[in-house]
Amino acid sequence: MVGARSFPSRAAMPELPEVETTRRGIAPHLVGQRVERVVVRERRLRWPIPEDLDVRLSGQRIEAVERRAKYLLIRAEAGTLIGHLGMSGSLRLVEAGLPAVRHEHVDILLESGLALRYTDPRRFGALLWSADPLEHELLRRLGPEPLGEDFDGERLYRLSRGKSVAVKPFIMDNAVVVGVGNIYASEALFAAGIDPRRAAGSVSRARYRRLAEEIRRILAQAIECGGTTLRDFVGGDGKPGYFQQTLLVYGRGGEFCKVCGSTLHEVRLGQRASVYCGRCQR
C-alpha cells in the first residue's frame, strides 16, 4: 500500500526552489508511465481546465517532467500539460481510487496504480494543455533561468541602465530573469550587500556580477534544502524544506541582523514586504 506522498504546498506563492523540488519529487513516478484517464472534479482554477483534457491526455505516455520558471511541464507524446501551483496548490501521489476530499480538484490516473492528485484551496493555480509549451502565451516572453548559462551579471547590468525602478523589483521581473521571488531576492541582495531600495540603474557592473553569483548560490542551496518551509510547504520526501533555517533577512523585520547586530528595517517595494540591513546593505 502506497501512502500519500506530498509535494510543495504553502500559503505564500511557491518560488522556483519549491517548484523544482516538486518536479524532482514527482518525475520518477511519472516518466515512462501511461495515463489511463484524467478525473476533473473542479475546472474553475485561475484559468479553466480544458474541457477535453481527459481526451487529450488519456492513453499518452509521459516522456518528461520539466520546469520553466515556476511552471511545471509534464510532457506527453502528443502535447504538454502546463501546471502552476498558484498560491496554495500541491501535487501528491496517492493510490488510484483514494476518495477525494475538499479542494482535491484533479486526479491523473497512471497505469502503475497511482494517481497524481492536484489540490488547490484558493484555486489560483492552473492546468493547461499545449502542443508547443515554450511558445504558450504564459511562457514565451520569459527571461533566462537563473541557474542557466544565459544568466549573469552582465545581463543585469545591461538591462538596468537608465532604470529608476528599485533593484529588488527589477530582479523579480520575469522578463529579466525568471524565478527570483520575494524570499530569494531579499536574501540575494543581502548577501551581495545591495540595498533593495537602490535604483537598478545606479548599481555598478561589479556589484551586479556579485548579485548574479549570489542569486545562483542561494537558489541552488534552497533547492538542495528542499525549499523554504512557510506554513505547510513539504518536499518530495514528504518532509518540510529547511532553507528557512538559513534566512538572514526575509520575514525578520525589527529583529537583529545576524551579521552586524543592527535592527533590520522593513519597507514595501513593488507591493511586497522587503527587509534589509541599513549597515550591511548600501
Q: Is 5 marked as binding a ligand?
A: no
- Residue 192: which of 126, 253, 75, 276 has the closest Cα? 276
Taking every pair of Cα atoms in the chain, the longest distance, rounded to a whole number of angstroms, is 60
Reply yes or no on whether 258 is catalytic.
no
Between strands 265-269 and 272-276, the pairing is antiparallel
Reply yes or no on whether 15 is catalytic.
yes
CB 93 within 8 A of CB 4: yes
Out of 5, 10, 14, 18, pick the active-site residue: 14
Report how far residue 186's alpha carbon sits from residue 198's, in angstroms, rounded to the nearest whole number.
Answer: 13
Q: Is 122 marked as binding a ligand?
A: yes
CA 134 distance to own-chain centroid: 17
Q: Buried (b) or exposed (e) across 210-234, using 16+ Cβ within 10 A?
A: bbbebbbebbeebbebbbbbbeebb
Reply yes or no on whether 279 is catalytic.
no
Q: Is 258 marked as binding a ligand?
A: no
Out of 5, 8, 15, 117, pick the active-site residue: 15
Could you give the dihedral angle defined by the CA atoms of residues 237, 243, 244 and 247, in that order, rounded to the nearest 10 degrees?
A: 180
Out of 67, 70, 92, 168, pick the active-site residue: 70
Catalytic residue numbers? 14-15, 70, 272
Residues annotated within a binding site: 103, 122, 163
Residues annotated within a binding site for DNA: 103, 122, 163
